[in-house]
Amino acid sequence: MTKNRWFAVVALLLVCALCMTSCRARKGGRRAGDNIGGEVGSGEAGSLATRPEGDLNILTSVKYDAVMFDYDSAQIRESERTKLEAVADYLKKNADVGVIIEGNCDERGSAEYNLALGERRALAARAYLIGLGIDGAKMQTKSYGEERPVNPGHDESAWSVNRRDEFVFFK
């Protein structure tokens, strides 16, 4: 009897855990951009556009806020969405302008892994912008990994500002 009760408790816990993980997965799966504009079901916003030829005319005066990330995450936080909407608005009003999305990481962990994580952060913003109607052909992604911190410090206040996507506009 007690054995059965234990079994029930364990089963219940398992079901709960399963529900939680599937909820989390679904939340991740519904990130904007994943299925809008990109290849449906691939989880990726399609192949990247070829790099623009020749020297780019960088629009240094056009500045938009960096999108910040949680530690070891490439998820676009809800708080960062308005920043991406502002970038999308600007790109829509300036049809001849393209954007380089630069993904960055804090200094912790493997430099090679951070290079890939930075690219994922840039790609997450790209997917979100595609979801907002921006043409993927106007966007380039570039990862700096942990190589370009804005704050060279070694604590969370530095790390949190270093985990970011920056937007560089070009014609």
Partner 1 sequence: MNRFLSVLIIFSLFLLTARLDAPAQVRVTKSASEVSFLDLSGFKSGADNASLSFRRTLESDLTRSGWFNLSGGGRAEFAVMGNVEPDGARLTVRCEAYNTMTRERCFSKTYQDDNQGARALAHRVADDLVLAMTGRPGMAAARIAMVSNRTGKKELYICDADGANLRQLTRDNAISLSPRWSPDGKKIVYTSYYRTQFPDVFLIELATGARQCLADFPGLNSSAAFSPGGRELALILSKDGNPDLFIMSINGDRLTRLTYSKRAAEASPSWSPDGQQIVFVSDSSGTPQLYIIGREGGEPRRIAVGGAQNVDPDWGANGYIVYSSLLGGQFQLYVLNPATGESRQITGHDANYEDPSWAPDGRHIFCVRRQNYNSRIFIVDTLSASCISLLQESVKGDCFAPDCSGKYINHAF
Binding site for partner 1 (CB under 8 A): 28, 38-39, 42-51, 72, 74, 109-113, 115-117, 119-120, 122-123, 140-145, 147, 154
d(CA 141, CA 99): 9
Of 131 and 145, CB closest to partner 1: 145
CB of 133 to partner 1, least distance (A): 18
Residue partners of 167: CB distance under 8 A and separation at least 6: 64, 66, 87, 99, 100, 101, 102
Of 78 and 152, CB closest to partner 1: 152
Buried-exposed string 38-67: b where 16+ CB fall within 10 A, e elsewhere: beeeeeebeeeeeeeeeeeeeeeeeebebb
CB of 61 to partner 1, least distance (A): 19
d(CA 123, CA 163): 14
Of 36 and 109, CB closest to partner 1: 109
CB of 2 to partner 1, least distance (A): 33
CB of 165 to partner 1, least distance (A): 14
Of 86 and 105, CB closest to partner 1: 105
Which H helix or E strand runs over 86? helix 81-93
Hey, which bits of the chain come out as E strands? 67-68, 98-104, 139-145, 164-170
CB of 43 to partner 1, least distance (A): 4
Of 57 and 86, CB closest to partner 1: 57
